[in-house]
Structure 1
Amino acid sequence: MYLLYDLIWLVAATVLIPWYLLRRFCGGKNRKGLRERFGWYAPHRLAPLQGRPVLWLHAVSVGETRAAVSLIRALKQTYPEHALVLTNVTETGHAIACDIDEVDLSLFFPFDISWAVRRVLRQIRPDIVVIVETEIWPNLVRCAKRASIPMVLVNGRISDRSFPRYLKVRFLLRAILNRFDALCMQTRQDQQRMLALGASEGHVAVTGNLKFDMSCDGVGALTPEALRLAYKLSTETLVWVAGSTHPGEEEKILHAFHEVRRQGVALTLVLAPRHPGRAQEVGELLDSHGLTWVVRTSLDKYGDVLKDGAVLLVDTVGELLKLYAAADVVFVGGSLAPVGGHNVLEAALLKKPVLFGPHMQNFREIARLLTEAGGGKMVAEQELVDELVRLLTDPEARKTMGAIGYDLLLQHTGATERTVQVIRRVLSAEV
């Protein structure tokens, strides 16, 4: 089975390598990325690990990396003598990881080919491998187990979409899952699904959702006025931030933007696609709507402030929390299109009223809690305009919804501490 798996990866590499090379030469992407994905590191890259025990955390992309920040900080406090390595699959996730002070070394995750994984394990020599959310890489799990390196999955979840697919191959998954020393799941339902896939009961625990333990890293200390000044947003208009949007959603958002303004609300829109590389595509859509807009990376050259009816198009990563802090109302994308949603707690952390669409499968429990408490609202496309108008014309309603969301977040903290306790038990058992 593993030989076949390696062969599939090698075939895939014949496509992936030209793609990475093309992006490197045409788009100026990270030149170290391709080598690192095969486990080839320049000696100076690994210098921060020399003579130190190592904790290796893996978070596939932006959402998982942000969710892991509280855990990273807690592990650094618990194990200050350890070097902390954080790997990512995506370039956007890697960019976020490079800005986390507690991380000693940020690397790209290797292709899950047996020889590449073994090479990485020999060079990093981790005391433990911690996988954030349900990233199951068969060769990594197998090679780590053979090298007697404990593995822990944290903040695990199994979505409604994934569960039926996993059930079809549980005869393969069972052996992989039981090589983990611990599986820390977000909810009781996630725990039951993991057990149904064949995981040993004693290895599966419910530790909660790390996303409830987020911090705003000083963003909360910045006033909305100061942030609006930095982003050239007019203080004479209200600001609606639509974050993490996907294809098919921007058209609906722009329709709502026009309708809200037709009802007499002076409004500026901040539009932040989930993938910044789509900025040109979204810019063409803005042109087709006859809107005045400016891209974030050109904002310093823009002489005026963005007034009523203008749009700030975000083509950067790592600024979403600041933009949410500048907002009057937040909409979180991936939810009007059948994507599964994105993290609505980032807006709640900043005490902002948050709206989201009906496709929230990946954040089902968070969306339910937030909706039931009144700290956020799920809206269908036709309801978006009415709810925006209601909130934008009622400052007290905005304040109340934001405060409820923030209180809910505080009530559900503690996942980080519970997860660290599991990791400590696993490490202690290996001593």
Structure 2
Amino acid sequence: MNILYNFGIYTYKQLVNIASFRNLKARKMKQGHKEIFHYLAQNADPEGGYIWIHASSLGEFEQGRPIIEAIKAHYPEQKIAITFFSPSGYEVRKNYSKADLICYLPFDLPNNVNRFLNILKPKQAIFIKYEFWGNYLNALAKRNIPTYIISAIFRPSQIFFRPYGGYFRKILQNFEHLYVQDENSKKLLKDIGITKVSVTGDTRFDRVLEIRSQAKELPLIEQFSKEKFTLIAGSSWPKDEEIFIDYFNRHPEMKLIIAPHEIHEEHIQFILSRLNRTTIRYTQADEKNIQKADCIIIDCFGLLSSIYRYGQVAYVGGGFGAGIHNVPEAAVYSIPVIFGPNHKKFKEAKELIIAGGGFSISKSEDFKLVMDRLLKNKEFLSKAGITAGQYIQNNSGASKKILKELYPEI
């Protein structure tokens, strides 16, 4: 099985190389991987001793951030290395000040793994949520390096619980402990003989509460949104935009702020082509021209988590693609959240729907029904928003639970 696994990783590496000719993300990944070992040779402490934290992408990094910052606050001399799998994580956080090393994770092939660990010499490894790299986990166990996963969540459909998933079940045994989000995950793991498990919840709730407390003041956004009902559409993709822009065009009583997931010019032009109301790009906005606008396109990064506070309703994109983006980031401001149908892997989305603070849509008609009610019924809008905010508060505290077990003195 290990041969097949390595072949699969090698094949993926080659596909990235091929895709890099036409795909910007793949090109960034290819270039980033070329530089990993040179970067480490130049910057890593030969003595090692790092706490190594791996996040697939930006969302997983944000889940791990409360842990990272607590470690650094209590042990300022402790060296921390952070690796990313995805360019969307690395490119945004490559200059993060709380880490001593930040780079891509070398592809999970035996030579890469040994070379990486020989340089880093980690004293501890922490993986976040979904990351299960067989060669890395096996090598960490052989070197007796304590390895943990936090905010993990498991589903019956995953390969660990399939008849042919023996190799992957075995690599789970390499974790010193697994900190999972819910009891269902713990039960699934127990059924396959994995018992070093604690239910601690999702650290992302702690992170969004931190973000809310540090939200930026955005005077132009405040000025734009203060007089009319405003929908904030975050991390949107074209399929999302087709639905909510069509509704917006037909409802002059509302305003719209769009923070698309990708802000390259082709995507911005696609959005503009669908809008038939006065629209301005955030980077071109000022106190005068924003007064005439009905829609703002956020054509820069780093503002979305602060922008949600200025809306009455949020729409979180990705639900018509690989999966929804960060729902708690919006819900923390006590506003209802709407998202597309591909949310089944996201516990927080399912629970928010049940609670009454979240709404799933599959087509334009669904969106219209939900928005009409939120737009016209103030009591319903208020109740849904309060429910969303309370859900975040009720599920916070995972970071403290994990830190108490890993570092009792914190």
* Interval of TM-score (by shorter of Structure 1 and Structure 2): 0.7 to 0.9
Equivalent in the alignment of 2:106: 110
After TM superposition, give the deviation of residue 51 of structure 1 in Å: 5.1
When residues 354 and 148 of structure 1 are mapped into structure 2, their CA distance, relative to the original with a 3 A threshold, is: same
Q: Work out whether 1:299 is the aligned partner of 2:281.
A: no
SS of the residue 2:345 aligns to: helix
- Say yes or no: does 1:377 pair with 2:392: no
- Which deviations, in whole Å up to 9, do the C-alpha atoms of 1:86-108 show, x marking residues without a partner? 11112221234346443232211
Which residue in 1 is equivalent to 2:303? 319
Residues 349-402 of structure 1: per-residue CA shift (max 9 Å, x gap): 2222222344321223x2343234333334453232233233334556544433
Cα drift, residue 339 of structure 1: 3.7
Counterpart of 2:39?
A: 41
Q: Which amino acid is 1:200 matched to?
A: I
Amino acid at match of 1:9: I
SS at match of 1:371: helix
Distance 1:287 1:232, change over 3 A: farther
Hey, what's the Cα distance between the residues in 2 that align with 1:290 and 1:7?
50
User: How is 1:109-188 mapped onto 2 (pairs within 5 angstroms)?
Assistant: 109-159=105-155, 162-163=157-158, 167-188=162-183
Q: CA deviation at 1:422?
A: 3.8
Unaligned ranges ≥5, structure 1? none
**1:306-345 matched pairs, under 5 angstroms:** 307=292, 309-312=294-297, 314-335=298-319, 337=320, 339-345=322-328
Distance 2:70 2:339 in 1: 31
Residues 1:55 and 2:43 are matched in the alignment: no
The separation in 2 between residues aligned to 1:56 and 1:258, in whole angstroms, is 48
1:84-95 equivalences in 2 (<5 Å): 84-95=80-91
- Whole-Å separation in 1 of the counterparts to 2:100 and 2:75: 13
* Match in the other structure for 1:74: 70
TM alignment of 1:269-418, pairs within 5 A: 269-277=256-264, 280-281=266-267, 283-296=269-282, 298-299=283-284, 304-305=289-290, 307=292, 309-312=294-297, 314-335=298-319, 337=320, 339-364=322-347, 366-381=348-363, 382-393=365-376, 397-418=380-401
Comparing 86-95 with 400-409, which one deviates more in the overlay?
Answer: 400-409
Q: Structure 1 residues 3 and 61 mapped into 2: Cα distance closer, same or farther (>3 Å)?
A: same
Question: What is the CA deviation profile of residues 402-423 of structure 1, one whole-angstrom value per residue up to 9, with x for unaligned ones?
Answer: 3332222222222112222343
Change (3 A) 1:348 1:7: closer
1:159 CA drift (Å):
4.0
The Cα of 1:424 is off from its aligned counterpart by 3.9
State the alpha-carbon separation in 2 of the partners of residues 30 and 294 from structure 1: 32
Q: Distance in 1 between matches of 2:387 and 2:95?
A: 30
In structure 2, the CA distance between the partners of 1:40 and 1:140, relative to structure 1 (3 Å rule), is farther
Which residue does 1:6 correspond to in 2?
Answer: 6
Choose from 235, 242, 257 the match for 1:251: 242
Shift of 1:303: 7.0
Aligned-residue offset at 1:166: 5.0
1:105-135 Cα shifts (integer Å, max 9, x gaps)? 2211111111111111111111111110121
Between 1:82-91 and 1:233-242, the stretch displaced more is: 233-242
Deviation by residue 1:255-295 (Cα, 9 ceiling, x = unmatched)? 22223x1xx51x23222333445x52353253145454444
**RMSD, aligned CA:** 3.4
Counterpart of 1:419 (choices 368, 386, 402) is 402
What one-letter code is carried by the residue in structure 2 that aligns with 1:213?
D
C-alpha distance 406-412 of structure 1, shift in aligned 2 (>3 A):
same
CA contact (8 A) 1:220 1:325 kept: no
Q: Secondary structure at the match of 1:107?
A: strand
Whole-angstrom distance in 1 between the partners of 2:291 and 2:161:
48
Tell me, yes or no, if the aligned pair for 1:54 and 1:125 is still in contact at 8 Å.
yes
Give the Cα separation in 1 of the matches to 2:244 and 2:178. Answer: 39
- Spell out, residue by residue over 1:199-258, the C-alpha distance to the aligned partner (whole angstroms, 9 max, x if none): 422x222221112212455654658xx525158735443321111233422211222222
Amino acid at match of 1:93: G
Is 1:291–1:311's contact at 8 Å kept on the other side of the alignment?
Answer: no
Q: Give the counterpart letter for 2:374 in structure 1.
A: L
CA 1:170–1:29: 2 relative to 1, 3 Å: closer
Distance 1:217 1:182, change over 3 A: closer
Percent identity over paired residues: 24
Q: Is the 8 A contact 1:141 1:180 kept in 2?
A: yes
SS at match of 1:362: coil
Report SS of the residue matched to 2:125.
strand
Counterpart Cα distance in 2 of 1:255 and 1:27: 32
Matched residue count: 408
